Amino acid sequence: MTLVPFSRISSLRSLIIDDMPTMRQNIRMHLGQLGITKVDQAGTPDEAIRFVEAAAYDLIVCDYNLNKETNGQQLLEFFRTQHMLPPTTMFIMVTAESGYNLVASAAEFQPDAYMLKPLTASKLAERIDRLLEKQNALLPINEKLKRKDQAGAIIECDNVLKVAPKWIVDILKTKGSLLIELRRIEEARAVYAQALEMRDDLVWAKVGMARCNIVAGQLDDAKVLVQDVLAQNSQYIEAYDLLAQIEEAQGNQSEALDALSRSSEIIPSARRSRLVGDAAYRVGDLEQAKEAFDRVLKHTKGSLTAQPSDLLTLAQVHVDTGDADAALQLLSSAPKRYAESKMFTSAQSAVAAQAHYQLGDTISAERAFEAAMNSAGGVPSEMATLALARAAFAIGRDDEGAELISKAVKSDHENKTLQALARKVLIDSGRESMADELVDGAVKQCMTIISEANALMRSAKPDESLAKLEEALHSMPENTGVLMAAAQLHLLWMSQRGINQEYVKRVNRYLNTLDRLIPGNDRVSKMHKFLREAVAKAAQKS
């Protein structure tokens, strides 16, 4: 069969995901007709995950119905939430169900396109060609985003709109989101107003307006907009997330949980159930937390999409509800690959220690606690540290428990959810009287470190200032407040004394960590830009 001369797409590296060998071969044949020869094939979600971990793909063609555990939409969700796909990867969902567009419109992570069976080479070529056209048109914007230059990307949005107005919706969506990231709220409002002038029923633009109100602190106005969106489209998942965010910010924990629960009913995915379980656990609704994490484990059983934290949280819920036997049984069922993580084995032993103590086996409880401490290493995860604190309090080692609570809060002292969970551990352990001293005290210590570093910099002692922050990061490497201060003061040092290559490496390390922890933060974006421009200016001088 002669190759169809689609030269623009023949070089695309592609991955086909389908559980039916005949369907994979058919799609492979269609891609071959387009001149695409670099094609890998996956028959299961786990196999697809391994391929994506090993290589970057330009095109992924995925069937919606894969197996009982994971469908194509859930696999796409996993790829997106784990940041496994480059922005330029084109993801096409293939389905025999004409109602899939309803699924896709409700989903948080939408494919770039969906196609109904049967496929043909010409249909694939037409769809891919359009996606490439869009990709090429938006290339100047995406190039700026690759460099973390949000301000430059906003300028390119305006430039691209002049020459490629057919992509106005995509451009306005991107521009509005970027303006919000940079806290240019009035400009963002103007973008969403422009979209609503085109069509007054654009839910994404109304949600954008609500996000503007949230950033501006106008929570009541934001809530009205979100409720209006849900009255218009009760399937719009992002609106439920915003509603939950607003309710939580206003101290309405139960209402936030209700919003997340409603979203989980629309999209009963592992991620949705996980959000419900976490929220239910924070408000003390252990039965709902148990049901939610039961669903998560059923969704992800035997799959690489499973997360160790789900099993650990459910085991902790069992302990908190007095079902120690169920907790130990669940912990013993952990996949062998989880044991490769010291953070997991530490938390696993910490929860087991609580369960053993609950059953009256103090010897096993002590042994499990010691094993947990030994596995924890220098910097355990927040979850493992809090589980260790619970175990310490359970077996009467209050001093160690107090130290662990303080350590957990210091790991990210600006994280309000972490502070609430630390307080919950103390309340559940009957140590509520220690909450203010330990939690507020840990927050104050971190703020003091940052304040002292700033004071040293102002007192013309920059080297001491930077050394103080670098030392602090050895014990709390993911504390966003300390990372932010360290990056800022290193940049200030270089603005006064010139580029120092060791400091450039440090700042890049700080900013990359912050990008992972708080993606899209406007202060981080500005520091990326400052560093990039400072390095470029120094290179020109040399």
pLDDT category at 5 given cuts 50, 70, 90 is very low
To the nearest whole number, what is the mean pLDDT of the chain?
Answer: 90
**324 φ, ψ (degrees, to nearest 5):** -65, -35
* SS3 at position 92: strand
State the Cα–Cα distance between residues 395 and 362, nearest whole angstrom: 7
Residue 522 confidence (pLDDT) above 80:
no
Joined together, the tokens standing for residue 332 give: 């013993």
State the Cα–Cα distance between residues 501 and 508, nearest whole angstrom: 11
pLDDT category at 304 given cuts 50, 70, 90 is confident
Predicted confidence at residue 4, as pLDDT, reads: 36
Q: Which residue has the tokens 């559940």?
A: 428
pLDDT category at 274 given cuts 50, 70, 90 is very high
Residue 104 confidence (pLDDT) above 70:
no
| Residues in CB range of 56: below 8 A, 6 or more apart | 13, 86, 89
Residue 504 confidence (pLDDT) above 70:
yes
> Nearest Cα to 82, choosing from 74, 92, 91?
74
Question: Could you tell me which residues are beta bridge partners of residue 94?
Answer: 63, 115
> Which has the minimum average pLDDT: 185-189, 270-274, 330-334?
270-274
In our burial notation (b when 16+ CB lie closer than 10 A, e otherwise), range 118-130 reads: ebebeebbebbee
Average pLDDT, integer, range 152-179: 96
Residue-by-residue DSSP string for 18-83:
-S-HHHHHHHHHHHHHTT---EEEESSHHHHHHHHHH---SEEEEES---SS--HHHHHHHHHHTT
Start-to-end Cα distance in the chain: 58
* pLDDT tens track for 433-442: 999 999 999 9
> Nearest Cα to 237, choosing from 193, 269, 196, 209?
269
Residue 280 belongs to what H/E stretch? helix 270-283
* pLDDT tens track for 25-71: 999 999 999 999 999 999 999 999 999 999 999 999 999 888 776 78
pLDDT category at 101 given cuts 50, 70, 90 is low
pTM for this one? 0.82
Predicted confidence at residue 377, as pLDDT, reads: 67
Predicted confidence at residue 6, as pLDDT, reads: 52
* pLDDT tens track for 423-479: 999 999 999 999 999 999 999 999 999 999 999 999 989 889 999 999 999 888 889
Average pLDDT, integer, range 156-173: 96
pLDDT category at 1 given cuts 50, 70, 90 is very low
pLDDT category at 267 given cuts 50, 70, 90 is confident
| Residues in CB range of 141: below 8 A, 6 or more apart | 153, 156, 157, 160, 171, 174
Predicted confidence at residue 99, as pLDDT, reads: 60
